[in-house]
Structure 1
Amino acid sequence: MAKTWIQKIEDKKNFPKVLILEERFPCYNAVHKMGANAGDPVVLVNASEIWPLMAKVPKGKLATISNICKALAKKHKVKGCCSLTTGIFIMSIANAVEEMIVKGNNSAFSKIPYWRTIKEGGFLNEKYPGGLEKHKKKLEEEGYKIVTSGKKYKVADFDEYLFTF
């Protein structure tokens, strides 16, 4: 039987895990853009360290994978954070929130405003529940202007709204 989204975000053994960044890592280019170099320590964390950050983003502010990663790296006193696993967990958290809402769960977790966490460059996340259209609708309901960039949507002037952790 397939795992639920809630099961997918359960803590994994041996996490958080600090690794020495290597150029062969799938997340190398993104982590390098955030300031880490080969040989620097980077952290891989569980979803349980990511969702509280997503929950902190207030109405009128936005977060990106990189500013969440920077907050996690600072917490763990390392140079970077694996943006690949963080991005996967962000998408999984969004789906788990919607799964809980459908089940009638009214916990603090079910109230995480996941739609305020966007991709780099202000782009919306097509892997969120309901895809791009639902992500766009939720952001527009909060007053953000959404523009098209090719076949993708992005928040206009997103950098003006970035939340500082």
Structure 2
Amino acid sequence: MSSTPGSRHARKSWREKLSGYPRLPEVKPIPPAMQRRHGPGTIVTPSPREVEEAMRRVPEGRLVTVFGIGEQLAREHGTTIGCTVTTAIFASMAAQAAAEERQAGRGDITPYWRTLKVDGELNLKYPGGLDELMRRLESEGHTVVQRGRRYFVEDFETKIIGS
């Protein structure tokens, strides 16, 4: 990266960070520690691009979970499971990249607010926090409910892609 004299190196944009994984996707055997839960087989560690593309395919009014994206990518790669930890990290990066692009005036951003945690919970680490996520989800016809300190899309199971 270039920098001007006297300044620190320019920080990578989220879009640049998403592009920084040339060795992914990767398919390998399920690690022994994970086999207790999932059994033997293979796991795909997706590329950031694949995760973002899955998020972009969610139409208005519908939802997807990080776990669902992992399952979808496992099917596409012919593996037993998808790495949901990596999927969640890349979903968060795609959300941050979308926020940067929206700030830059781009209109066609990844609809990150439609990607929920496994149980329909909102990811409050996504850009804009609770207020922004609720506004966007409710404008698409969803109802957000609070349970304890957490927030969920009501009846999210009926709105998941493929249901």
TM over 0.5: yes
Change in 2 beyond 3 A, CA 1:140/1:41: same
2:139 is matched with 141
2:86 is matched with 85
Deviations 1:134-161 (A, max 9, x none): 1122111111111101101000111010
- Three-state SS of the structure 2 residue aligned to 1:42 is strand
Q: Please tell me whether Structure 1 or Structure 2 has the larger radius of gyration of its CA atoms.
A: 2
Shift of 1:133: 2.2
How many pairs align? 153
2:126 is the counterpart of 1:104: no
Query: Which residue identity does 1:151 align to in structure 2?
Result: R
Residue pairs, 1:1-165, within 5 angstroms: 1=9, 2-24=11-33, 28=34, 32=37, 36-37=38-39, 39-106=40-107, 110-164=108-162
- Three-state SS of the structure 2 residue aligned to 1:111 is coil
Query: Which residue identity does 1:59 align to in structure 2?
Result: E
8 Å CA contact 1:21–1:41 kept in 2: the answer is yes
**Structure 1: how far apart are the matches of 2:57 and 2:17?**
22
Shift of 1:23: 4.6
Shift of 1:89: 0.4
8 Å CA contact 1:147–1:156 kept in 2: the answer is yes
- Three-state SS of the structure 2 residue aligned to 1:59 is coil
**Structure 2: how far apart are the matches of 1:19 and 1:127?**
30
Deviations 1:111-138 (A, max 9, x none): 3211111111110001100112211221
Identical amino acids, percent of aligned pairs: 33
Give the CA RMSD over aligned residues.
1.8
**4+ aligned runs moved over 2 Å, structure 1:** none
- Three-state SS of the structure 1 residue aligned to 2:119 is helix
8 Å CA contact 2:58–2:114 kept in 1: the answer is yes
Query: Which residue identity does 2:51 align to in structure 1?
Result: I
- Indicate the larger mover: 55-64 or 4-13: 4-13
- Three-state SS of the structure 2 residue aligned to 1:7 is helix
8 Å CA contact 1:11–1:46 kept in 2: the answer is no
8 Å CA contact 2:18–2:49 kept in 1: the answer is yes
2:6 is matched with none
